[in-house]
Structure 1
Amino acid sequence: MARSLVVLLCALAALAASENPLLSQLENIDVDAVLADPERVDAAVKCFLSDTDDSCNTRAKVIKGLIAETLKTNCAECSDNQKAGVAKFMAHIAKNKPEEMKQLLAKYDPKGEALAKYGDSWREKGIIV
Structure 2
Amino acid sequence: MKNMIALFVWILFHSVLSEEPNKYTSMYDNIDLQEVVHNERLLKNYVNCLLEEERCTPDGAELRRNLPDAVENDCKKCTQKQKEGADFMMQYLIDNKPEYWNLLQKKYDPSGSYRTKYLEAKNGAVQEENAKESSEHHII
Query: TM-score interval w.r.t. the shorter chain?
Result: 0.5 to 0.7
For structure 2, which runs of at least 5 residues remain unmatched after alignment? 1-16, 124-140
Map 1:51-70; keep pairs closer than 5 Å: 54-70=54-70
Q: Per the alignment, do residues 117 and 95 of structure 1 end up closer, same or farther by CA in structure 2, a change over 3 Å counting?
A: closer
Q: TM-score, normalization: structure 2? A: 0.59
Q: How many corresponding residue pairs?
A: 104
Deviation beyond 4 Å, 4+ runs, structure 1: none
For structure 1, which runs of at least 5 residues remain unmatched after alignment? 1-14
Write the distance in 2 (CA, Å) between the matches of 1:125 and 1:73.
23
CA RMSD of aligned residues (A): 2.9
Tell me the equivalent position of 1:44.
Answer: 46
More helix by share: 1
Q: TM-score, normalization: structure 1? A: 0.63
What is the percentage of aligned positions where both structures have the same residue?
25
Map 1:1-80; keep pairs closer than 5 Å: 18-20=20-22, 23-24=24-25, 25-50=27-52, 54-80=54-80
Tell me the equivalent position of 1:116.
Answer: 113
Write the distance in 2 (CA, Å) between the matches of 1:117 and 1:96.
16
1:95 is aligned to 2:95: yes
Instruction: Tell which has more relative contact order, 1 or 2 (C-alpha 8 A, sep 6+).
Output: 2
Write the distance in 1 (CA, Å) between the matches of 2:50 and 2:69.
14
